[in-house]
Chain A
């Protein structure tokens, strides 16, 4: 009888230790790689054919069809904003090497979306230059059509010989502590940011009749 009691106590203690260890390990949070993915795809939903006929030297009225995607792998629900800016070669773009600063240029279009954990959001973007003028050595964009809207604010950009325009797409994330959207966010203890930019030219506008 004493032997049974000894076996009972020994097995109970060993089982309790093993089950407690399993319980503890199950509760320890595993290392979760936190990140956002921002990508821009062409008309076919692939990383190609961003311009009709793959001609990056566009004309007013040339219609571009892109798909901008954002993927949330931060582990929690996030509020994100996709911000579109039109820049030329010399205007300051986003700078990830310098404290993750956004381009100081004002946006011409932005849209906000709530993303639950592990969700991907795809935003279709259809745009064209509506109005642009040319002078002997420069082209100036005055308006865009963007997802059916005519936009004139923050699109007035001049480029030397109409070369090296760029659409910059920045990802801004809502910061709970600050109560505002921020271009940079903390992920796994590091500050991160994300942006895309797609270059195009408008050098042929001067040869239009």
Chain B
């Protein structure tokens, strides 16, 4: 009875291990989805993702070929190509994350600069206006003091 139970458990465990094995192409595809999500987040934050986009497309090409190899039954090639694609996707994830962080920091700095810059610009304009007013007054005063009453010439 004990032996039978142990056999049943081990059979169940073995079948679980078999079903739990993830297809390499599927696994690479899931990693690719994560990489795309990171790239999109970086793009939306304003980062330049052109170089990473090229890298992503190379990985997609490998994954396409892996998928075709899998369909023709060439599982060894499919697995190798999927593994290469996954490595590329895994390299893209932290790179995209860094780009996004840099873009967010830059964006925040720009917002801060704008909010500080606006009252400073207004202050400069106001000081310039007062200075211009004072210069104008000085000129007018100088013109006033230089006025002379011209003697009347009698013919």
Q: Within 8 Å CB of A116, what residues of B?
A: 43, 49-50, 53
Whether the Cβ atoms of A79 and B36 lie closer than 8 Å is yes
* B13 close to chain A: CB less than 8 A: no
Q: Which among A5-13, A28-36, A94-102 touches the partner chain?
A: A5-13
B58 to chain A, nearest CB (A): 10
Give the interface SS of chain B, mostly helix, strand, loop or mixed: helix
6 A-B pairs with C-beta separation under 8 A: A3-B133, A8-B126, A11-B129, A20-B118, A114-B39, A116-B53
Measured CB to CB, the closest approach of chain A to B140, in angstroms, equals 14
Q: In the assembly, what is the distance between CA of A15 and CA of B118, in Å?
A: 9
Contacts of B119 in A (CB 8 A): 16
Q: Does B97 contact A (CB under 8 A)?
A: no
**How many of A's residues come within 8 Å of B, CB to CB?**
27
Q: Which 9 A-B pairs give the minimum distances between C-beta atoms?
A: A12-B126, A15-B122, A16-B122, A11-B129, A15-B125, A77-B43, A11-B126, A19-B118, A114-B56
Closest chain B residue to A180, Cβ basis: B33
**Using a CB-CB cutoff of 8 Å, which residues 103-145 of chain B contact chain A?**
114, 118-119, 121-123, 125-127, 129-130, 133-134
Is A127 engaged at the interface, CB distance under 8 Å to the other chain?
no
Q: Which of A71-113 contact B (CB under 8 A)?
A: 76-77, 79, 111-113
